[in-house]
Amino acid sequence: MTFKIFILQFSKNKGALIGFLIVAIACVLALLSPIIAPHPPHEIFENAFRLPPFFSEGAHDHFFLGTDDVGRDTLSRLLYGARVSLFVGFLVVTLSASVGIFLGLLAGYFGGRVDWFIMRIVDMLMAFPSILLAIVAVSIMGPGLINTIFAVAIVACPQFIRIVRASVQSEVKKEYVLAARSFGATHLRLMLKEILPNCMAPLIVQISLGFSDGILNAAALGFLGLGAQPPTPEWGTMLADARAFIVSDPWLVTLPGLCILAIVLGFNLLGDGLRDALDPKLQRH
Amino acid sequence: MSFPQNTLRFHWFLPRILLASTLILLSCSLKRRDNQSFIYCSEGSPSSFNPQIFTDGTSNNASSHTIFERLVAFKYGSVEIIPSLAESFDISEDRLTYTFHLRKDVPFHANDRFTPTRLFNSKDVLFSINRMLNKDHPYHKVSGGSYEYFVAMGMNKAIRSLKAPDLHTVVMTLSSPDASFLANLAMPFMSIHSQEYAEALLKNKEQERIDQYPIGTGPFVFKNYSKDSVIRYKVNLDYWGEKPSLKRMAFSITTDASVRFQKLKTMECHFINSPSPADLEAIKREPHLKLEEGFGLNVGYLAMNTEKKPFNNPKVRRAISLALNKKSYIKAIYLDQAIPAKNPLPPTIWSYHDELKELEYNPQKAKALLKEAGLPQGFSAELWTLPVSRPYNPNGKKMGEMMQADLRKVGIDIKLVSYEWPTYLKKTSQGEHQMVQLGWSGDNGDPSNFLNVLLSCDGVTSGSNSARWCHPQFDQLLKDALLTSDIKERTRLYKRAQEIFREELPWVPLAHSKVFRAMNKKVHGYKMDPLGGDIFRTISLKKDSTQ
Amino acid sequence: MKDFFVARLKDLLPTLFGISLISFFIIRMIPGDPVLLLLGERGADPVVYQEMKKELGLDKPMASQYVPYLGNALRGDFGKSIISKREVSEEFWDRFPATLELGLAALFFAAVIGIPLGIISAIKKGSFLDFFFMTTSLVGYSMPIFWWGLILIMIFSVGFGLTPVSGRIDIFYEVPTITGFYLIDTLINPTLLKEEGLAPFFSAIDHLILPALAMGTIPLAVLARMTRSSMLEVLDEDYMRTATAKGLPPFRVIMIHGFRNALIPIITVMGLLFGSIVTGAILTETIFSWPGIGKWLVASINARDYPVIQGGVLFIASLIVFINLSIDFLSKIINPRLRSDDL
């Protein structure tokens, strides 16, 4: 499939375009957050506690989305939060994709015992639901953003391993591989140069979905108090923190939740669109 | 291929049934509750059901004020001392000998494994006090063997002898006159347990049960407890005093203050402890709720472990004091429902030293002090944040974040740490912390109840002095103040002690808060306890006519 | 087919071994001495210290600890909770039915709504309804349920007063455990029925609605999308055309010929969703104070109750392995042509 057809397919899909837009905007906002955020995320404004956002009565011009219970600007914290979330998503995907590609290639290419062994690891990891595995990690290492990333990345590995393995298995018997092998190509060369590029389509889709899963899981851990620790402006942590004010100042809970929903939805739409555009037959859900 | 449109009739069928059945279900189960079942949404799990062991208000509410009674009591709603299990008492001329004449009509509770065969008598008093006093007592070591409160109040040294001439008389001899002795006897840790129950358990080698399945003489009988969720009581039908008008009572443990309010609003509880300051306005607006407000006999503080470096240096402690902007905490955390603290005692208690000036927020001076202390670069430390919401500190974690920001400005790098409440208390009493947020609600109205418990040398041993600060001169003042009952002299001594506290600053006193209780308008007969407890023995539920 | 079962069972052992190793190491990988951590620096009375060490099974060299640990675990002995002093397995079985009841209710809700939505979308492919359902289900799929739960409470409990804020049943109803499911126990307990009638049953339903709704949201979305795609595939098959051509009523064609054949992937997905219930349970139970294993685990983490964490993790992971295995078997029985690699 050429790039042109891909673009054509992709742009026909409204959902995918919306997803792309959300993700792109989030990336821009996250990158530029130090420039566009009106205040530093940790700065406490005395006498500006729990101001409402612009559309409510009593809003302050200075704080577009109001302030939290200790007087920090909500907009700035949300912007920096995009940074944290995308950073988490990026690291999770990088870690899990590299491990997943490596093990998936080995399993699919060599088959036999190697495959069996790797699949048992996959089974084992699949037995730990993401939050449970994170709980294990946190009970050993203690809560924190970096530990969260590791935990969530480990959980995300099996998906990558399975996807890469499956497409390698279907590629490895094809003629071009056999041909390359008869020319005496090394295993490494075969795997990386011949097979892997042909497995890219499902991988790209999984990367996009990996972002959404990673961000959601990290936020859930933050919500449970096991992930990023305050005052890190992580959306899940912010949400958990604001629970006490859900009746009196509901926006403190609503806004971070909406942000999580938006970015996760963005990546999911993008992933769906990519799947349809790259290979209409690949349907996961 | 395409399907004719008329096939699609069916798909509205299912949703309709679903919707209808949901509505029916919801309307069927609107809460119809009688007026004899009372639900209290409490703020945390009790750390034990034996008042001899713990010192926190949550556990008090769950056991001292419901299941147990003492020889003397505080009159409901005041700090006046009245007879209780002791019908009357005589005090000798030299104020060293106290003779208690016990009631003869008090039965103990029963539970599924134990039925009392006799009424309350002096054996029970001896058993209860000896368990704490006597290290060789068969029950001394049960549940840890630490009687923090008893030791911190100096009771182990104060009681020289304890005798029961007959089944209905108990004589206590003190080693020196103690002005606060009677008040101490009225406190939770002096609760009277059943000696007969203890013996029965000992026979079966199940001593630990005494603290898990408590037997007392109070108006409510312990029924069961599911951890972190609910404590159930039934009313004591054989209660010797005025019987409560309730039939049953439950404590619904709800740690989140805003959830407590939500449950009050949806009538899942009748009464809530410490509503979040953020919800006060909303509570006042609700037509079926009422709010009671009182002055708290409390102090919230940040204790610094004076046994650990660099907090052993008073300059460092003063620097931290100056660096913390208390007024901003009062605004953000207490939502102005508190006043800044300058002394360890709250202003509502006699001997409060009002002439001492407030230490004003001054980060520059704090930096200078750190420099003098040889720490110009600052340092890093752990600060433990209160895991529960308390009137003296409604949100420890948030306050921790604000402290972290304040201390960063003077170069002190803070790591915030917290544990579940029982663990937090335990670790603190063992002195594992560097800086720790704590607080105290007075429970007998005497200044010694603050100073001796929280700042005496005995408190270091027992674990209740979380600054682990033992200052000989200060300690002597506290001891002297107990030897006399002349209020003027005691006031002078306590004021001097507060001056020493100010120079040494083992804590940063933070705030004295107002306390609030919110309840359904059906609740009648509740009085705010000046000592901070929630006491429901005289409560009744009535249809509210004003609604 | 027999070979398939044997092969899967053979694969099971190493997986279980790995899981037991992971849980074994939880307590042993904590930096520092876990015994000291639990006792506190000061409270380290040497006798108590040794007792505690023995109780945690840490008194022998690491290599010789594993076998007794595994032996105990196989006999159902997972040690005692440090906080409550009760057996971990006892605490687990106390709470597990609550989680299972909530999980099943959530799945039921997801299936009852999600599958019809999927069928409708498939039949009316490309229509506005299809677009609307699929977009909504993608939003549902992306939902942070810890936030969603809070919003549901704010709307239905606090706003309209329709459902309780938290808990599993009205606080004064004590339901003795028979099956552990309140929806059943409230109906089969004669004393409770005599004293309170059906009120406890309705109270249990009342308490179940919102958490099941919150927890069922993601499975609902997954099921709707899965049903749609597998229905689309089936609708294109020849036998569907034949059935319609034979003049059978369209409703019958869709339900009997279409849906029945689309069911296999749907069942597989439902099984997989069941495994993901644990994740949902941890979050949902925390929000709704639902007394199940999720809330229990989170509380134990906060209390550093290591034996509970260790035992709970081992329990849940083994459970999921067995669930995954049963799904494999079930799918194989439904569709014998399936190769093991497809799973």
Task: From B253, B285, B282, B246, select the one nearest B268 (Cα to Cα).
Answer: B253
The percent of residues in chain A predicted with pLDDT above 70, rounded, is 96
Residues 6+ apart with CB under 8 A from B178: B154, B158, B184, B482, B483
The torsion angles phi and psi of B292, rounded to 5 degrees, stand at: -115, 145
CB contact at 8 A, B451 and B345? yes
The torsion angles phi and psi of B290, rounded to 5 degrees, stand at: -135, 160
What's the rounded Cα separation, in Å, for the pair C315 and A30? 41
Chain A residue with minimal CA distance to C286?
Answer: A224
What's the rounded Cα separation, in Å, for the pair B431 and C175? 43
What's the rounded Cα separation, in Å, for the pair C319 and C315? 6
Total of domains in chain C: 2
Positive/negative CA dihedral, A133, A139, A145, A147: negative
How confident is the model over B517-534, as pLDDT tens digits? 999 999 999 988 888 888
CB contact at 8 A, A26 and A259? no
Whether B130 has a pLDDT exceeding 90, the answer reads yes
Give the CA angle between residues A218, A219, A223 to the nearest 5°: 120
| pLDDT band, residue B29 (cuts 50/70/90) | very low
Domains and CATH numbers, chain B: 298-514 (3.10.105.10)
CB contact at 8 A, A214 and A266? no
Q: How confident is the model at residue B7, as a pLDDT?
A: 40
C68 and C161 belong to one structural domain: no
Of A48-52, B300-304, B387-391, B393-397, the range with the lowest mean pLDDT is A48-52
Q: Which amino acid is at B521?
A: K
- Classified as helix, coil or strand, A131 is helix
Taking residues A216-242, report their average pLDDT: 87
Question: What are the residue ranges spanned by the domains of chain A?
Answer: 13-40+48-273
Q: How confident is the model at residue B13, as a pLDDT?
A: 54
Position with higher pLDDT, C76 vs A77: A77
Q: Min CA distance, B22 vs chain C (Å)?
A: 9
How confident is the model over B65-107, as pLDDT tens digits? 999 999 999 988 888 889 999 999 999 988 899 999 999 999 9
Q: Quote the tokens at residue B127.
A: 């058993």
Q: Are strands B248-253 and B37-42 parallel, antiparallel or unpaired?
A: parallel
Q: How confident is the model at residue A283, as a pLDDT?
A: 44
Q: Which residues of B touch C40 (CB under 8 A)?
A: 426-427, 430, 432
Of B18-22, B287-291, C214-218, the range with the lowest mean pLDDT is B18-22
- Give me the CATH code for the A13-40+48-273 domain, please: 1.10.3720.10
Helices (H), B350-466: 363-372, 396-408, 421-429, 448-455, 457-462
Number of Cβ pairs closer than 8 Å across A and B?
Answer: 59
The percent of residues in chain A predicted with pLDDT above 90, rounded, is 31
Residues 6+ apart with CB under 8 A from B145: none
What's the rounded Cα separation, in Å, for the pair B324 and B510? 9
Max intra-chain CA distance, chain A: 76
C86: in domain: no
Q: Which amino acid is at A180?
A: A
Q: Quote the tokens at residue C39.
A: 């006792």
CB contact at 8 A, B109 and B221? yes
Whether B366 has a pLDDT exceeding 80, the answer reads yes
Residue B222 pairs in a beta bridge with B233
Distance from the Cα of residue B183 to its chain's centroid:
17
Chain C residue with minimal CA distance to A18?
Answer: C135
Whether B10 has a pLDDT exceeding 50, the answer reads no
Residues 6+ apart with CB under 8 A from C50: C59
CB contact at 8 A, B521 and B544? yes
Average pLDDT, chain B: 88
- Classified as helix, coil or strand, B384 is strand
Query: Is the minimum CB–CB distance between B328 and chain A shorter than 8 Å?
Result: yes
**Which site among C130, C172, C207 would you substitute to test the B interface, given the most B Cβ atoms closer than 10 Å to its Cβ?**
C172
The residue assigned the tokens 């739409």 is A269
C203 and C262 belong to one structural domain: yes
Of A49-53, A255-259, B85-89, B367-371, the range with the lowest mean pLDDT is A49-53
Q: How confident is the model at residue C39, as a pLDDT?
A: 64
CB contact at 8 A, A172 and A166? no
- Classified as helix, coil or strand, C320 is helix
**Which site among B11, B34, B211, B388 would you substitute to test the C interface, given the most C Cβ atoms closer than 10 Å to its Cβ?**
B11
What's the rounded Cα separation, in Å, for the pair B538 and B534? 11
The torsion angles phi and psi of A123, rounded to 5 degrees, stand at: -55, -45
Specify the DSSP element, H or E, that contains B164.
strand B159-166
| pLDDT band, residue B111 (cuts 50/70/90) | very high
pTM for the whole structure: 0.82
Asked if the Cβ–Cβ distance from C11 to A123 is below 8 Å, we say: yes
CB contact at 8 A, B392 and B300? yes
Whether C303 has a pLDDT exceeding 80, the answer reads no
What's the rounded Cα separation, in Å, for the pair B375 and B414? 15
Minimum-distance CB partner of C150 among A140, A246, A283: A246
Q: Which amino acid is at A207?
A: I
CATH for C258: 1.10.3720.10
Specify the DSSP element, H or E, that contains B413.
strand B412-417
List the 210-229 stretch of B: residues with Cβ below 8 A of C: 224, 226-229
Q: Min CA distance, B229 vs chain C (Å)?
A: 8
C343: in domain: no
Task: From C147, C195, C17, select the one nearest A236 (Cα to Cα).
Answer: C147
C35 and C116 belong to one structural domain: no
Q: Are strands B97-102 and B169-174 parallel, antiparallel or unpaired?
A: antiparallel
CB contact at 8 A, B534 and B517? yes
Q: Which residues of B touch C120 (CB under 8 A)?
A: 8, 11
Whether B1 has a pLDDT exceeding 70, the answer reads no
CB contact at 8 A, C224 and C118? yes
Q: Min CA distance, B152 vs chain A (Å)?
A: 34
What's the rounded Cα separation, in Å, for the pair A160 and C268? 20
Average pLDDT, chain C: 82
Length of chain A, in residues: 285
| Separation in Å, CA C157 to CA B37, B169, B264, B462 | 22, 56, 11, 46
What's the rounded Cα separation, in Å, for the pair B226 and A262? 39
Whether C342 has a pLDDT exceeding 50, the answer reads no
Q: How confident is the model at residue C337, as a pLDDT?
A: 60
Q: Are strands B271-273 and B37-42 parallel, antiparallel or unpaired?
A: parallel
Specify the DSSP element, H or E, that contains B540.
strand B540-541
CB contact at 8 A, B185 and B86? no
| pLDDT band, residue B25 (cuts 50/70/90) | low
Of all residues in chain B, what percent are helix, strand and coil, respectively (each to 5)? Answer: 35, 20, 45
Give the CA angle between residues C211, C213, C215 to the nearest 5°: 65
Average pLDDT, chain A: 85
Residue B226 pairs in a beta bridge with B230
What's the rounded Cα separation, in Å, for the pair B539 and B458? 38
Q: Which amino acid is at B266?
A: T
How confident is the model over B446-495, as pLDDT tens digits? 898 899 989 999 889 888 899 999 999 999 999 999 888 788 899 999 99
Taking residues B269-273, report their average pLDDT: 92
Position with higher pLDDT, A25 vs B148: A25
Query: Is the minimum CB–CB distance between C271 and chain A shorter than 8 Å?
Result: no
Q: How confident is the model at residue B165, as a pLDDT?
A: 94
- Structural domain including C105 reads 95-338
Positive/negative CA dihedral, C69, C70, C73, C75: negative
Q: Quote the tokens at residue A83.
A: 């940074």
How confident is the model over B297-350, as pLDDT tens digits? 899 999 999 999 899 999 999 999 999 999 999 988 888 889 999 999 998 888
C236: in domain: yes
Q: Quote the tokens at residue C205.
A: 């339903």
C122 and C193 belong to one structural domain: yes
Query: Is the minimum CB–CB distance between A144 and chain B shorter than 8 Å?
Result: no
Of all residues in chain A, what percent are helix, strand and coil, respectively (each to 5)? Answer: 75, 0, 25
How confident is the model over A261-279, as pLDDT tens digits? 999 999 999 998 888 887 6
What's the rounded Cα separation, in Å, for the pair A143 and C248? 61
Task: From B215, B196, B204, select the one nearest B126 (Cα to Cα).
Answer: B196
C89: in domain: no
ipTM: 0.87
Q: Quote the tokens at residue B202.
A: 């000992």
Taking residues B405-429, report their average pLDDT: 87
Position with higher pLDDT, B197 vs C160: B197
Residues 6+ apart with CB under 8 A from A243: A253, B256, B258, B259, C150
How confident is the model over A144-200, as pLDDT tens digits? 888 889 888 988 899 899 999 988 888 888 888 888 888 887 888 888 888 888 888
